[in-house]
A and B are shown apart, each in its own frame.
Chain A
Amino acid sequence: MESRIQFVFLSLVMWALCASAAMAAPKAEELELEPLVVREPDRRQVEVDDLDSENFEIGGFGGLMNVDNFGTEPVYGIRAAYHVTEDFFVEGQYAKTELGDTSFERLSGGSPLFIDRDMTYYNVSLGWNIFPGESFVGGRWAFKGGLYLIGGVGSTDFADDERFTWNAGLGYRLIATDWLALHVNVRDHVFKSDLLGEDETYHNIEFTGGLTLFF
């Protein structure tokens, strides 16, 4: 019984779909039959909103991050950006690094002071394409790209505490093709912590390279 209902239902749906597809297709005979009476419809009306737009950029990056007092360790993360105009874009990042040994830990040779050595951060930033244009290498090569300034706010998970973090930096975007870009970034991530006794401002300089896709 059940499969009969299924059969009837599916048949009906299929007929409906075929009918809708047939109705959507342009009817050539109709146009040929009454060409003098009926004005040919504007089938070539251009719809700008139907064009493929590529304002999103998504990708990954990796590099080195120096955490104040904790040495320099590899960092890697993901980023996504939305280009609002040719000048401005909004970017979000999430990245991971590790805390190295503090000088004290290394010199004393004792057990580590902190157990949780993972550090993660996220941020949202506003970028400004300050010097867009072509760059030239020698006489034969021209690269599209440009320098951008970027800054924003976020949070860093540092030694098991969430710290409010602002960031500022400079990047270079090299547009390899319409859909692929290479990035080089220098960023300072700044937060306050009292982890080592008193309140201190931590400046953490990060140097990364990355790849992004436009879509």
Chain B
Amino acid sequence: MRGLTTTLLYVGLLAGLLASNVAYGGLFRNYQPEVVVSDPYIEMHTGPGRGYPIFYVAGQGDEVTVLKRKTDWFKVRLPRGTHQFREGWVHIDQMRHTLDLEGNEIEFPNHGVDDFANRRWVAGIGGGDLDGANTVSAYVGFHLNPYISLQTEATQILADYSDGWMVNGGIYMHPFPYSRISPFFTIGTGYISIKPQTTIVQAEDLEDEIAHAGAGANVYISDRFILRLEYKRHTVYTSRDENEELNEWKAGFSLFF
């Protein structure tokens, strides 16, 4: 009996979760608002791009339903009876001149230099050179504020006679975050592993801790795109008597969210 009550309560809990989710418009959202054209006209393309032809022009005062978005293009649906094909794609610049049904302006946010300065998450990839070896790397960063970020990076090292990998974590300082070309400085630490190629005999594997200091610049391109140039000087704490110094140069691009 008690088992049944508990089961019922669990079912109730699930139903409650679903109910509150629906009430707050959560998970399975199918949000398709209606907007009113306030410019003299908006152009509807057959696809989400300027290369696709315009097949219909909706006029001032027309009500259209916004279905979804691809990059800077919005798919809208015309009311019944307007055109043989009711759905088309409208560019964000024209969507800006639509109003909601109450007559209020709608904000269509665009990513600009301010978003670049206030970015939160950054993910990127790059390629470069580590003391003569080629590198391929991927990194993820989190900005605590516009001036300081934390970043972790994984690098694959591909040399003529050896290959390996390296992971790094570091703190980045961005003294001029509001500039389009924003320089940065970094220090951090990590781990490196190198093994010789199979065509070479009698070489030892190398696994060591490393630390680095570096500098570079983020260049804001447009939208969510950042070009990144970076130099790092790594110190490898080898098991031999002397530490080894490695110079790393790389270029890459990142996206911010």
Instruction: Tell me the A residues contacting B by CB distance below 8 Å.
Output: 3, 6-7, 10-11, 13-14, 17-18, 20-21, 24-25, 42, 44-55, 82-86, 88, 90, 124, 126, 129, 131-134, 142, 144, 146, 153-155, 159-164, 175, 178, 192, 194-195, 199, 214
Contacts and interface: CB of A to CB of B under 8 A. Distances in A.
Contacts, number: 166
A84 B6 contact: no
B68 A48 contact: no
A83 B47 CA distance: 15
B158 A155 contact: yes
B6 A3 contact: yes
Contacts of A133: 49, 51-53
Interface of A is mostly: mixed
B197 A161 contact: yes
Of all A-B residue pairs in the complex, the 6 with the closest CB atoms, nearest first, are: A17-B16, A133-B51, A164-B134, A132-B51, A164-B158, A24-B23
B17 A17 contact: yes
Contacts of B202: none
B136 A21 contact: no
B46 A144 contact: yes
Interface of B: 2, 5-6, 9-10, 12-13, 16-17, 19-20, 22-25, 29-35, 46-53, 66-75, 100-102, 104, 106-109, 125, 127, 134-136, 138, 156, 158, 160, 163, 197-199, 222-225, 253, 255
Contacts of B225: 84-85, 88
Nearest to B20: A21
Given A46-B100, A154-B136, A53 B69 contact: yes
A54 B72 CA distance: 11
B123 to A, nearest CB: 10
B70 A214 contact: yes
Given A21-B20, A24-B24, A51-B31, A86 B50 contact: yes
B47 A17 contact: no
A55 B71 contact: yes
Given A48-B108, A49-B109, A161-B163, A134 B53 contact: yes
A45 B198 CA distance: 64
Contacts of A85: 71-72, 222-223, 225
Contacts of B2: 3, 7
